[in-house]
Chain A
Amino acid sequence: MAIFEIASFGAIVVLVVLGLGIIASMMGIFNFAQGEFVLLGAYVTYIVHTAGLPVWLGMVAAPFVVGALGFVLERLIVRRFYAAPIVAMLGTYALGLIIREIVRGLIGGLYLSVPEPVGGSVAIGGMHFSTWRLVIIVITALVMAGSYLLLARTAFGLRIRASLENPALARASGISTNAIYGATFAFGAALAGLAGALIVPVFTLFADLGIRFLIQGFVAVMVGGIGSFAGPVAGAGLIGTLSAALPWVISPVIADVAVFVLAIIFIKFRPQGLVAGKGV
């Protein structure tokens, strides 16, 4: 029981951090609007649901809508920040703030429920497991595997890695790094949109949904190590599992702080993170 619950929250954090990690690792910028992409994914699902269409349709649409928006934002705004990562943080933070407050206005600051496409729970030996959380674990595994294959095994993935490692050489080899950056950012945003769509039935829709995961996400990326695909994923798994597991053994208020303290101590002794170096 405990293991299932902890794994399901771990999977949720991995799902949320995946897009953040890809943008941070492959493009070298910290996207502070990532939480709001998660929120937008959730919001798209809610809109589709209130339009009377099935919820799963919203979940399919969310990554495409958010990915497209991510692409537009990268073209218009984010690309101007590549030279200055610190400014990029502020810029994306501002973007996030704008998106968050617009959504807050649209939903009237309320907390709204969105039903899951497959609801209820599976009872095994007197214990009830939430079906939807089970689905999330499975989808997270699939998305993780898919993203890994895309980055490690396809020509597109190779171009992304090339653009990260040596932009000048990549351009000289005929790769349009501009287009690659746009696509990567859109892909990261789409993953966030998917995460938002999948978690909204669990956590309800509210304007601060994304910000809740943003800090955890950044700690996960720091702990996991920037520069690779595996690093942030490993970090997210660790942070997610820790923050779900600690309240089982110590007071939740202390557990909340303890996760961050442990993360800081870990980074102090291993600044390069769990997975060092660049690559996939």
Chain B
Amino acid sequence: MQEKGFSPMSQDANTLSRRRFLGNAALFGTAIATGVGSWVIPAGWANAAAGPIKVGVGTDLTGPMGYAGNADANVARMVIKDINDAGGLLGRPLELYIEDTASNESVAVGNVRKLIQREKVDLVIGGITSSMRNAIKDVIVSRGKTLYIYPQLYEGKECTPYLFCTGPTPAQQCDEFIPWLIKNGGKKFALPSANYVWPHTLNVYARKVIEANGGEVVFEEYYPLDQIDFSSTVNRIISNKVDVVFNTVIPPGVGPFFKQLSEAGFLKNGGRLACVYYDENTLSINQPAEIEGLASCLDYFKALTPEDPFSAKLQAAYEKQFPGNFLFAAGSAATGTYRGLKLWEAAVKEAGSVDRDAVAKALDHAKIAEGPGGPAEMVPGQRHCKMKMYTAVAKGGKYEVVARSAGLVDPKEC
């Protein structure tokens, strides 16, 4: 498969010359060699002395996480194109290699190895679930001796050297959000959760913050990932008179769960739903009335665009280039991907090379003045990212931002 449209080569290909024919044939050959599921986006002006800098994206283009992975790949395409249009990095063009991790760890390891061993990329960004990160990080960082940026919100505690995280951590998603929930919901919390690492670890942190702020957890329970009937859970939430449901049940269960909860009268009785991965993608899972008042805390919401000109510009540019189903949203790591690539760009500029140690050293304190939702900076020594956080509430199928952090929130990791 050959991605077209970004290289001048394909734009004026109607004047067919021998050289152009050979060039296209070479590209076609690469496409065959890299196989289906690989995308190579060549820099249009590959005439620089040092050759292009290679950026690898390994993300879930297919499978259940496909809706998020495609958005992340789109963001990478957009950022790399912008950098190339502005003259590249260190006078060199950027070349983007996209591999499908297919929502499947064993497929992913093989494909990411291709990025490392065959393409010899200078950076890998991607991975959405924690299990995916754990599966591919060793291939990239230890055996691959390459930088890795993980862009998704997650449970924290990832402290591998050369692995940088640009999505929100539990501290960033809970420290300001849970006090808000206690004020705008109540003190009795329920923690219904999917049975995997993110909910388990996040709940430990959330419980601490809930109790430190005078709330109590009346019920914490874990469910198989594909459970879609929650009658016993809903019953316990109603009979325990829970004020706030701090949910970490994931799709496909979350839709039926919220529906059953609202049918049982939870919202009518003044209950508050909270879910920290809820973004614009997940709004469509339920009818607006079933999640009225649902609160989420993320680094970006589309609702910010009227007040933040840079976010508005970014959102508009993305929607213009990639109209369709794959949204520019925080919960699918699209904002983390943007932040990651721009921080890396800043670090490469400072380091003056793409040498791993030099870039890692610069990335350790890299800053960007503008990004989705505001500026961001790496916390030295933590390999995690300070950023602004926003609390939004779903009203009639749209988010309304109701609270914002005063400044950049500390990730409190490592």
A interface, CB within 8 angstroms of B: 1-2, 5-6, 8-9, 104, 108-113, 115, 120-121, 123, 128, 130, 202-204, 206-209, 212, 243-244, 247-248, 251-253, 256
Complex Cα gap A24–B284 (Å): 36
Q: Which residues of chain B are within 8 angstroms of A9 by Cβ–Cβ distance?
A: 229, 231
Q: Chain B contact residues (Cβ within 8 angstroms of A): what range?
A: 35 or more
Complex Cα gap A204–B229 (Å): 12
Indicate whether A130 sits within 8 Å of B235 (C-beta atoms), given known contacts A113-B286, A204-B255, A252-B227. no
- B104 at interface by CB-CB < 8 Å: no
Q: Which residues of chain A are within 8 angstroms of B252 by Cβ–Cβ distance?
A: 111, 203-204, 206, 208-209, 212
A204, B227: Cβ atoms closer than 8 Å? no
Offer 16 A-B interface pairs, CB within 8 angstroms, sorted by A.
A5-B235, A104-B66, A108-B324, A108-B325, A111-B251, A113-B285, A115-B287, A120-B263, A121-B265, A203-B228, A203-B255, A204-B255, A206-B252, A208-B226, A212-B226, A252-B227
Q: Which residues of chain A are within 8 angstroms of B67 by Cβ–Cβ distance?
A: 108-110
Identify which of B195, B227, B229, B326 contacts A108 (C-beta below 8 A). Answer: B326
Complex Cα gap A208–B232 (Å): 23
Q: Which residues of chain B are within 8 angstroms of A204 by Cβ–Cβ distance?
A: 251-252, 255-256, 259, 285-286
Complex Cα gap A97–B94 (Å): 38
A202, B259: Cβ atoms closer than 8 Å? yes
Complex Cα gap A231–B117 (Å): 56
Residue of B nearest to A104 (CB): B66
Residue of B nearest to A128 (CB): B265
Residue of B nearest to A126 (CB): B265
Identify which of A104, A130, A212 contacts B260 (C-beta below 8 A). Answer: A130
A113, B265: Cβ atoms closer than 8 Å? no
Which one of B44-52, B217-225, B405-413 is at the A interface?
Answer: B217-225
- B29 at interface by CB-CB < 8 Å: no
- B110 at interface by CB-CB < 8 Å: no
From 40 to 68 in chain B, residues with beta carbon under 8 angstroms from any chain A beta carbon are 63-67
Q: Which residues of chain A are within 8 angstroms of B221 by Cβ–Cβ distance?
A: 251-252
Residue of A nearest to B324 (CB): A108
Indicate whether A109 sits within 8 Å of B64 (C-beta atoms), given known contacts A203-B252, A253-B223. yes
Looking at the assembled complex, report how far the CB atom of A251 sits from the nearest CB atom of chain B, in whole angstroms: 7
Name which of B223, B231, B252, B282 has the most chain A CB atoms within 10 A of its CB.
Answer: B231
A252, B222: Cβ atoms closer than 8 Å? yes
Looking at the assembled complex, report how far the CB atom of A243 sits from the nearest CB atom of chain B, in whole angstroms: 8
Complex Cα gap A204–B256 (Å): 7
Identify which of B224, B233, B251, B287 contacts A206 (C-beta below 8 A). Answer: B251
- B281 at interface by CB-CB < 8 Å: yes
Q: Which residues of chain B are within 8 angstroms of A111 by Cβ–Cβ distance?
A: 251-252, 255, 282, 284-285
- B264 at interface by CB-CB < 8 Å: yes
Q: Which residues of chain B are within 8 angstroms of A212 by Cβ–Cβ distance?
A: 226, 228, 252
Complex Cα gap A206–B326 (Å): 15
From 230 to 250 in chain B, residues with beta carbon under 8 angstroms from any chain A beta carbon are 231-233, 235
B284, A2: Cβ atoms closer than 8 Å? no
From 242 to 291 in chain B, residues with beta carbon under 8 angstroms from any chain A beta carbon are 251-252, 255-256, 259-260, 263-265, 281-282, 284-287, 290
| Shortest Cβ-Cβ A-B pairs, 4 listed | A108-B325, A5-B231, A204-B255, A109-B66
Residue of A nearest to B326 (CB): A108
Identify which of B264, B290, B325 contacts A110 (C-beta below 8 A). Answer: B325
Q: Which residues of chain A are within 8 angstroms of B256 by Cβ–Cβ distance?
A: 202-204
Complex Cα gap A247–B235 (Å): 11
Complex Cα gap A256–B6 (Å): 49
From 179 to 235 in chain B, residues with beta carbon under 8 angstroms from any chain A beta carbon are 195, 221-224, 226-229, 231-233, 235
Looking at the assembled complex, report how far the CB atom of A50 sits from the nearest CB atom of chain B, in whole angstroms: 11
Looking at the assembled complex, report how far the CB atom of A103 sits from the nearest CB atom of chain B, in whole angstroms: 13
Complex Cα gap A46–B263 (Å): 21
Q: Which residues of chain A are within 8 angstroms of B263 by Cβ–Cβ distance?
A: 120-121, 128, 130
Name which of A8, A110, A130 has the most chain B CB atoms within 10 A of its CB.
Answer: A110
Looking at the assembled complex, report how far the CB atom of B192 sits from the nearest CB atom of chain A, in whole angstroms: 10
Complex Cα gap A23–B63 (Å): 29
Indicate whether A113 sits within 8 Å of B284 (C-beta atoms), given known contacts A204-B256, A252-B224. yes
Looking at the assembled complex, report how far the CB atom of B335 sits from the nearest CB atom of chain A, in whole angstroms: 18
Looking at the assembled complex, report how far the CB atom of A46 sits from the nearest CB atom of chain B, in whole angstroms: 11
Apart from A5-B235, A120-B263, A130-B263, list 12 A-B contacts with CB within 8 A. A5-B231, A9-B229, A109-B65, A109-B67, A111-B284, A115-B287, A123-B265, A128-B264, A203-B255, A204-B255, A204-B286, A253-B222
